[in-house]
Amino acid sequence: MTISNLKLNEETGKYIITSELSSDEIIETAKKLLNNRLRRGAIFNSPTQVTDYLEVHLKELEHEVFYMLYLDNQNRLIDKEILFTGTINAASVYPREIVKSVLKKNAASVILAHNHPSGIAEPSQADKLITTKIQHALNHIDVNVLDHIIIGENTVSFAERGLI
């Protein structure tokens, strides 16, 4: 596997840099590596795998986005997408649109995520309320919400906090 100026040593599983890389090239290469890990059919074995991916893609955004990972009944990735884009401190989220999207993707479960551009990842009352609304909407079609992850300077998992 070769990405940019990296080669994978198949024996050790380590990457070898084949030429100089700028910081921007390193960041872009890291994103490509994470995308390769989170390709269709990838199985989620650990929360760290998901949060690493989300942090790289959502942490530095200057506006709030609402992101979804669609999983099959074996927790393999079907698809991932930004469903809603907002402003510096809010994104309007519509459970009806989430249900439509989940049905279209034929997902058995989902992981919700969004970023807080302020850097403060603590869930607001609005975050808790919309998560509950989404859970109720998806329960009617037998789809599980496995987690809602908020990305800021740190990461907050609703599942780890017992909020889901």
- Report residue 1's pLDDT band, with 50, 70 and 90 as the boundaries: very low
Question: In the chain, which segments carry CATH 3.40.140.10?
Answer: 43-157
Evaluate if residue 82 carries a pLDDT over 60.
yes
Evaluate if residue 2 carries a pLDDT over 60.
no
Provide the Cα torsion 21, 16, 51, 117; round to 10°: 0
Region 63-68: mean pLDDT is 93
Give the mean pLDDT of the chain. 84
Q: What is the pTM of this model?
A: 0.76
The C-alpha atoms of residue 6 and residue 24 are separated, in whole angstroms, by: 14
Bigger pLDDT: 99 or 85?
Answer: 99
Q: What is the pLDDT of residues 106-162, one digit of tens each?
A: 999 999 999 999 999 999 999 999 999 999 999 999 999 999 999 999 999 999 999
CATH number of 43-157: 3.40.50.300, 3.40.140.10, 3.30.930.10, 1.20.120.790?
A: 3.40.140.10
